[in-house]
Amino acid sequence: MSGQMRGGGLRIASAALLLCIFAFALRAHAAGKELLINADLSKGSENQPDDWQTQAWVNDQVSVAFTWTHPPGGGPGEAEVNAIKENDARWWQQMELKEGWYYISADIRTENVGMDHSGATISVLEDGIMSPEVKGTSPWTHEGFYLKVGKKGADAQIALRIGGFGSLNTGKAFFRNASVTMIDAPPQGAQPIYDLDAIRKTAQPVPLGQPYSLVLTYLVLIAIAYGGWRLYAIEPPKVTRAEARREAKSEARREGKKKAARR
């Protein structure tokens, strides 16, 4: 009997160990998987890479131009943003991110990007979440950042961008090898790091007071408004004695003039 129990226990332990190994393998696979669609910009037609869109603060032909280049026989391509006039312009892609840590990066090259405002970055279109900026005229450099997403997950817009909110810029930026991958955690001392939930919580408007105090305030305001309406819309205006005497004298003069006219 005891041998059967030991055998059953060994089978349960073995099954649990296999499940742990399987779960670890799945996580390791997810951690190394590219999550951006058409991340290498190899697929598309004419001047449009698949699954990427363009957007600009000033979106007309004299202010911005977007170009997609790729080898005729296929292979990784490049996305260009040319901010002819001061702008916040980008190629971007919508993503759904699950809970966890992410490394978001791209290779970036620039030509004549202004030094005084936001340069070329890969970024999340939300409250300054971006890689280190590339400005001036720069050769290819790999830039990225680490992003933490909370338990509920998040929708995010990943952008290959020049300029920023309230920080418009000019110049050309070129992007290749964009990437969003899930990781276990950032390396020790790595920068920049962003916590998406914390940033969104900070951006939310702060309520004034507790819910019950807000309700009481609204009720008091409604009562005051109703009382004022009753006072001024229904109650007739009060007339002083002096005003009444003046009105009586005026009425007497008008009657006297009418009698004189009849004579």
Distance CA(173)–CA(160), nearest Å, equals 9
State how far the Cα of 174 lies from the Cα of 137, in Å rounded to an integer.
Answer: 11
- Domain ranges for the chain: 1-32, 44-203, 211-257
CB count in 10 Å sphere of residue 136: 13
The strands making up 193-195's β-sheet, listed across from edge to edge, are 64-69, 78-87, 169-183, 100-113, 136-149, 193-195
d(CA 122, CA 174): 11
Distances (CA, A) of 218 to 118, 208, 223: 44, 13, 9
Per-residue pLDDT for the chain (263 aa), expressed as one digit of tens each?
555 555 555 555 444 444 434 333 344 444 579 999 999 999 999 999 999 999 999 999 999 999 999 988 778 999 999 999 999 999 999 999 999 999 999 999 999 999 999 999 999 999 899 999 999 999 999 999 999 999 999 999 999 999 999 999 999 999 999 999 999 999 999 999 999 999 999 877 655 555 555 566 667 678 777 666 666 555 555 556 666 667 776 776 777 666 666 65
**Homologous superfamily in CATH for domain 44-203:** Galactose-binding domain-like (2.60.120.260)
Contact 173, 89 (CB under 8 A): no
Q: 112: phi > 0 → left, psi -120 to 50 → alpha, else beta; which?
A: left
3-state secondary structure of 160: strand
Between CA 255 and CA 249 the distance in angstroms is 10
- Measuring CA to CA, which residue among 155, 147, 154, 144 is closest to residue 177? 144
Angle at 200 between CA 198 and CA 201, to 5 degrees: 65
> Residue 25 has what pLDDT?
39
* Region of 44 on the Ramachandran plot (φ > 0 left; ψ -120 to 50 alpha; else beta): left
For residues 164 and 130, is the Cβ–Cβ distance under 8 A?
Answer: yes
- What residues pair up with 146 in beta bridges, in sequence order? 103, 193
Q: What is the pLDDT of residue 28?
A: 42
Helix (H) or strand (E) holding 24: helix 2-32
**Identity of the amino acid at 52:** W
Please, are residues 121 and 133 in contact by the beta-carbon 8 Å criterion?
yes
